[in-house]
Amino acid sequence: MSSAKDLIVKPIGSADARAFVKKHHYSGKVAANSQLHLGVFWNGKLEGVMQFGPSMDKSHSIRLVEDTGWNDFLELNRMAFSDVLPRNSESRAIAVAMRLIKKHSPNIQWVVSFADGTQCGDGTIYRASGFVLTGVKKNKTIMELPDGRVVADISLNISGRTTGKTASWWRKNGAKSLEGFQLRYVYFLDPTARERLTVPILPFSDIDRLGAKMYLGEKPGVGGVSNTSSNLLGNGGASPTPTLHQED
């Protein structure tokens, strides 16, 4: 019987990747700024996609690791897997993806990604894949509009395509931030980048402590602390997760 070791990870075209993500990602939306699309094949079928590209807020994110060149880091913009994959497939796929990046884009020193603890999960896969936790921030950017649509404020502000109204307009007209947290994770391809991290590495236990736990869109139990501490929100707080929610 095939196991996670039998996964095949290969670059695929953006059209195939986007079609898969639209079908399998919890948001149903793709990240428009992805540049690299890796397909995860298993038993002769495409069963997963990982999309990498620049951070939406690159000028901000680049400060996470001192002396990072403008193009020397990536964001894992989207990750979607079907539910037929065997155990550990996601971490196996990420491990192969990181090896491919290291081999073909040796300038990339680190990869940042965000877990959406308002609708999806707190980043179990990242923790199992060697990412470090560098931020837990109460969500202020993912909004639910009065008609039930869920959007990131940046997608409203950047193009206006989503609704034709800005985020501030919507906030005044009934939109509310979703309850939950955004969690920021970093993976180091260059070990020296870890030493240049400008924010603290947080213990994974902080997720529970801060009440940020979420798995498959469900909160399994809220921890004792309902608000993030100010030091986490200051230097170590996660950026929003705009790319997780940007409209196509």
Partner 1 sequence: MSLKTEQIAVAKLTPHPKNVRQGDVGAISMSLEMHGQYRPIVAQKSTGYILAGNHTYKAAMSLGWKDIAVTYVDVDDDQALRILLMDNRANDIASYDEGGLGEVLSLLMDTEKQLAGTGFNPEDLDELLALVTGIATLDPAEAFAAIPDGDRPNATQMTFMLTLDQGEMVKEALALAKSVDGYDLDTGNVNSNGNALALIAQEFIRVIR
Alpha-carbon distance of 229 to 236, in angstroms, equals 10
Alpha-carbon distance of 225 to 161, in angstroms, equals 38
Nearer to partner 1, 179 or 248 (CB): 248
Task: Tell which positions 105-124 bind partner 1, by CB under 8 A.
Answer: 105, 107-108
Told to check if 233 binds partner 1 by CB under 8 A, we report no
- Measured over the CA atoms of residue 79, residue 84, residue 88 and residue 94, the dihedral's sign is negative
Told to check if 142 binds partner 1 by CB under 8 A, we report no
Told to check if 66 binds partner 1 by CB under 8 A, we report no
| Spatial CA neighbour of 119 closest among 185, 161, 168, 178 | 178
Told to check if 178 binds partner 1 by CB under 8 A, we report no
**Contacting residue, 70, 87, 147, 224, with partner 1 by CB under 8 A:** 70
Nearer to partner 1, 51 or 239 (CB): 51
Told to check if 36 binds partner 1 by CB under 8 A, we report yes
Told to check if 159 binds partner 1 by CB under 8 A, we report yes
> What residue type is 229 in one-letter code?
S
Told to check if 151 binds partner 1 by CB under 8 A, we report no
In DSSP terms, 81 is beta-bridged to 48
Nearer to partner 1, 72 or 144 (CB): 72
Angle at 236 between CA 230 and CA 240, to 5 degrees: 95
| CA atoms within a 13 Å half-sphere pointing along the CA-CB vector of 126 | 26
Pairing of strands 73-81, 110-117: parallel
Told to check if 32 binds partner 1 by CB under 8 A, we report no
| Spatial CA neighbour of 117 closest among 219, 2, 43, 248 | 219
End-to-end CA distance of the chain: 37
Alpha-carbon distance of 50 to 21, in angstroms, equals 9
Told to check if 203 binds partner 1 by CB under 8 A, we report no
Told to check if 60 binds partner 1 by CB under 8 A, we report no
Q: Read off φ and ψ for residue 29, nearest 5 degrees.
A: -120, 150
User: Which of the stretches 42-50, 78-86, 122-130, 198-206 binds partner 1 when contact is defined by CB under 8 A?
Assistant: 42-50
Told to check if 46 binds partner 1 by CB under 8 A, we report yes
**Contacting residue, 31, 74, 186, 212, with partner 1 by CB under 8 A:** 74
Told to check if 173 binds partner 1 by CB under 8 A, we report no
* Residues that bind partner 1 in the complex, under the rule CB under 8 A: 2, 5-8, 10-13, 16, 35-37, 39, 41, 43-46, 52, 69-72, 74, 96, 99-101, 103-105, 107-108, 158-160, 166
